[in-house]
Structure formats: C-alpha cells, structure tokens
C-alpha cells in the first residue's frame, strides 16, 4: 500500500509541478527558481544527520530560504541577483557537507520509497493547496504577469502575490523532494513548461499541457527506472525523459 501512495503522490506532484512551472515560466523566473530546490539541502542534511524527518528539515530551510529570496528579489538590481545565486550555491555546499556520506546520494538525487498514509494525506493536502492558490489567484496572476504596475494600480497586492507564488513553488518542491532529490526537484517544474510553450501559444492550453507533459515524464521515467534500470533513484531518469520530450517538441513546426 505504501508504494501505491507513493506513486499516487508522485502523479499529483507532477500535475502541481506542471501548473507551477507554467506560471514560473511566464514570470521569467526560470533560471532563479530552477535552483530553488538547493535551499532544502542544508535542512535535509541536518535531518539525516540527526536521524529526524528529512521533509521537516528540508521544509524548514526551504521555507526560510524562500523568504530570503523573496526579500532579495524585491530589490531588483544585479547585486541582489548575484546574492540569490550565492545563497543557492552556499546551500548546496553546506547541505553536501552536513549530510552523512551514506545519505548524500539520496539527499541529492532522491529515492523512491514507501509512503505512509499520513504522509500521503499531507502531500495531497499540499498539492490541493497549490492548485487552489493558482486557480484562486488566476486573474491577479494574469495582471501581475502583464504588468506588476497595472496590477498594483488595480489594487492587487503584488508583493504578497509574489510571496504567495514563491511559497507555493517551494511547497511543490517539498512534495517531490523525497523521490526527486534536492538537486532535481525543481527540474520538473521547469522543463515540462518549456516543452508546453513550444507546442501552444494559448494560455489555457499551455498550463494544461505543462501538467500533462510533467505527468508523462514522471510515469515513463518511473517505469524505466524501476523496471529496466532496477533502481529506486528515479529522479534522474524522470528528468532525462522530460528533456527528451522537450527536444521532441522543438521538432514541431509552429
């Protein structure tokens, strides 16, 4: 049963990742956010070290790091762009140092394993929160994407909306953290959206396609990983499948 829960949650994660990724791609925050999963690494490492719950540790530093990134992003100049990069790299370094050697591979690249019922329910609740936020804030997000100034003039609280999106982004990373790992958890947010963008120019289709491509990547990657490669480190294979899908989408004539 534990594996069924894990598979189901992986699927839910894929859908959330596609949704979040499509918005992130429209916000042009792809490069910065791709490495956001690094923020979880110090917390993951400490949790492994102390034999605590990895998700709690990873979630804590992910959350704190997100707040930090949000503050840094509000000041838009080159220095803060660089400082965001420094934060990400530092987290990777610290995380790698802190994590016990035998857990390092799992922390970085994930491990597909049984999921308890409470864990499954929590993960599902998190995904539902992500979807609810994106659907509920859809119009405000559209205005923010078009022009943060005009959105503010229309009464949208732009800074809070951006924070909300960053948190939802982090929450999605957290849901996928165990089986995708700290390095690759955000790759699935980025790549399927890029693929979907090649295939359509309409926002509704774009968002749905991103989720669909993400789901296919997870399914195919998971199957190849467990059945052919016989490994529970499914993250890298999933990412490679998503990249192959992206390459295929480039072949499509617009």
Which residues contribute to the site for another protein (CB under 8 A)? 26, 28, 138-140, 142-143, 145-150, 152-156, 197, 200-203, 206
Angle between helices 235-250 and 158-184 (to 10 degrees): 110
Smallest separation, CB 243 to another protein (Å): 21
Nearer to another protein, 222 or 246 (CB): 246
Smallest separation, CB 31 to another protein (Å): 15
Nearer to another protein, 77 or 102 (CB): 77
In the chain, how long is the greatest CA-to-CA distance?
55
Smallest separation, CB 250 to another protein (Å): 16
Smallest separation, CB 152 to another protein (Å): 6
Smallest separation, CB 50 to another protein (Å): 44
In angstroms, the CA 70 to CA 55 distance is 22
Q: Which of 171, 169, 164 is nearest to 144 (CA)?
A: 164
Nearer to another protein, 156 or 167 (CB): 156
Nearer to another protein, 118 or 201 (CB): 201
Q: Which of 186, 203, 206 is nearest to 146 (CA)?
A: 203
Tokens of 23: 């918005």
Residue recorded with tokens 């359509």:
200
Give the angle subtended at the CA of 199 by the CAs of 194 and 202, to the nearest 5°: 95
Nearer to another protein, 145 or 216 (CB): 145
């Amino acid at each position: 049963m534990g594996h069924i829960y894990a598979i189901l949650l992986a699927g839910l994660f894929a859908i959330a990742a596609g949704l979040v990724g499509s918005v992130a791609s429209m916000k042009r925050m792809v490069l910065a956010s791709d490495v956001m999963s690094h923020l979880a690494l110090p917390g993951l490492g400490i949790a492994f070290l102390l034999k605590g719950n990895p998700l709690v540790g990873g979630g804590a530093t992910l959350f704190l790091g997100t707040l930090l990134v949000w503050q840094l992003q509000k000041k838009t100049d080159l220095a803060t762009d660089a400082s965001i990069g420094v934060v990400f790299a530092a987290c990777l370094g610290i995380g790698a140092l802190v994590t016990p050697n035998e857990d390092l591979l799992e922390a970085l690249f994930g491990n597909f394993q049984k999921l308890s019922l409470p864990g499954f329910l929590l993960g599902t609740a998190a995904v539902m929160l992500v979807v609810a936020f994106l659907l509920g804030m859809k119009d405000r997000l559209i205005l923010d994407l078009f022009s943060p100034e005009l959105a503010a003039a229309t009464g949208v609280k732009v800074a809070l909306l951006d924070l909300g999106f960053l948190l939802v982004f982090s929450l999605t990373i957290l849901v996928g953290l165990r089986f995708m790992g700290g390095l690759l958890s955000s790759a699935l947010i980025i790549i399927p959206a890029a693929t979907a963008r090649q295939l359509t120019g309409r926002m509704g289709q774009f968002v749905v396609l991103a989720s669909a491509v993400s789901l296919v990547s997870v399914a195919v990657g998971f199957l190849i990983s467990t059945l052919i490669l016989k490994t529970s480190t499914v993250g890298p294979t999933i990412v490679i499948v998503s990249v192959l899908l992206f390459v295929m989408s480039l072949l499509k004539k617009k």
